[in-house]
Amino acid sequence: MGKKAVVIITAAAVCTAAAALVVRHRIRSSGRWARATAIIKELEEKCGTPIGKLRQVADAMAVEMHAGLASEGGSKLKMIISYVDNLPTGTEKGLFYALDLGGTNFRVLRVQLGGKGRGIISQEFTEVSIPENLMVGTSDALFDYIAAELAKFVAKEGQDYQLPPGRQRELGFTFSFPVLQSSINSGTLIKWTKGFSIDDAVGQDVVAELSKAIEKQGLDMRVSALVNDTVGTLAGGRYVNGDVVAAVILGTGTNAAYVERAHAIPKWHGLLPKSGDMVINMEWGNFKSAHLPLTEYDHSLDTESLNPGDQIFEKLISGMYLGEIVRRVLCKIAEEASLFGDTVPPKLKVPFILRTPDMSAMHHDTSSDLKVVRDILKNVLEISNTSLKVRKIVVELCNIVATRGARLAAAGIVGVLKKVGKDAFKDGEKQRTVVALDGGLYEHYNEYSKCMENTLRELLGEEVSESIVIEHSNDGSGIGAALLAASHSQYLGVDES
């Protein structure tokens, strides 16, 4: 009897202890969830973009645009004069080339334009990678290599691509590095980025360097236009649609360009162009305003970046940074609420490991068990055995960060429309206004682009938004550059019958 009593008492004690453990685990677990929920709620509040705040951002963008046009250094927006005063009209005719140098690869294109009503008849391109030693060598070595590839491309041309006798080939040069432009076809290199470091090219006119190398190849080709990819996107958009007034790139980075009246540019001291227009490259990624909804995660990302204090708008809305913001929030939840267990998964601590395409895939996961989220957490961050509850938190985070970015991008566009007087009807006129958009973020992150377009409607109102159209304009850095070579051709006005 005594033994039985001991066994029963011991068993009861074990059950009580086990029950206490379960209760403690539940309390701890509910404490963790409460902390995780609190972090998300705080993020949602700090990332809030109510319509009133977005209007303030749009107004601030327009004010900064005015300031940047008034004087050099007058604003965080550089408002660079592109020297593009003739955008394509769709009537351009003939054979034109483009060279797109923006990273470790470059592209050479040729485009045959058919004139009014015929558009682009044919286009061909080749892509070439740049050997690493040339990225840190000399200016001559780099441009000689590029010109040799250009000459090879021209040498392979068939009879369809012959120019009329006495005509020089003409090329648009997209050079996606910081340049101080002094005319439509000249500009000095300010500094290299993206892994290039060629000291003797800094301070040189990149068009002169390329032209010298082309001449060495015995190639009769003139660089007609030095362009930025955003200006090229604007040109590509205007070629197919005369109502295009601005272009926005939403990709890894972000930028905008638009058509300004030349007399509204106080810092322009040259003769007014015949067209009366001038394309402005805004460099809007550098926009900064007290109205931007910044969080602790944005501040730490900026502080630890290669360019602290710069490109704040870009760090909120572009593809380079959205996934990284989500990673930083997940890291905090893992540290403070043990979302993925008692230790923080090592991969979650690696900056930029969570790319925006992964974030987009998780945000778009419609499966009942969020399988895509589970797989990305496992394959990218090496976090296994996540519960559905945890996966739902991840999707919610993606939604908060993407929504803020998309709504701020829309506010930026409204700021540009405001500056050119297209954000409201004047005297009952209903003119169609088109904004050309390009970039992988806009093209592939559907939740982002859908939210951005809905926000535009919300900001502009039903009536005005009916006349504002967003159109996808593809390959501004390639075709756009060739089109600008055509619209700035030395043979303009020569009868091409």
Three-state secondary-structure class, residue 16: helix
Q: Is 4 a catalytic residue?
A: no
Contacts with 333 (C-beta within 8 Å, 6 or more apart), sequence order: 35, 36, 39, 40, 339, 393
Quickly tell me which residue has 């919300």 as its tokens.
Answer: 458
- Sequence-distant (6+) residues with CB within 8 A of 20 are none
Q: Phi/psi of residue 337, each to 5°?
A: -130, 10
Which of 191, 194, 267, 392 is an active site residue? 194
Catalytic residue flag (residue 229):
yes
Residue 112 buriedness (CB in 10 A; 0-12 / 13-18 / 19+):
middle
Calculate the CA dihedral of residues 462, 463, 466, 469 and round it to 10 degrees.
-90
Phi-psi bin for 356: left (phi > 0), alpha (psi -120 to 50), beta? alpha
**Dihedral (Cα; 231, 237, 243, 247), 10-degree rounding:** -40
Q: How far apart are CA 397 and CA 337, in angstroms?
A: 15
Q: Which secondary structure element, helix H or strand E, spans residue 122, and what is its range?
A: strand 120-129
Q: Which of 85, 205, 229, 475 is catalytic?
A: 229
| Chain position carrying tokens 């990305």 | 376
What share of residues in the chain are helix, strand, coil (percent, to 5)?
50, 15, 35
For helices 388-419 and 356-363, angle between their N-to-C axes, nearest 10 degrees: 110
- Which residues carry out catalysis? 194, 229
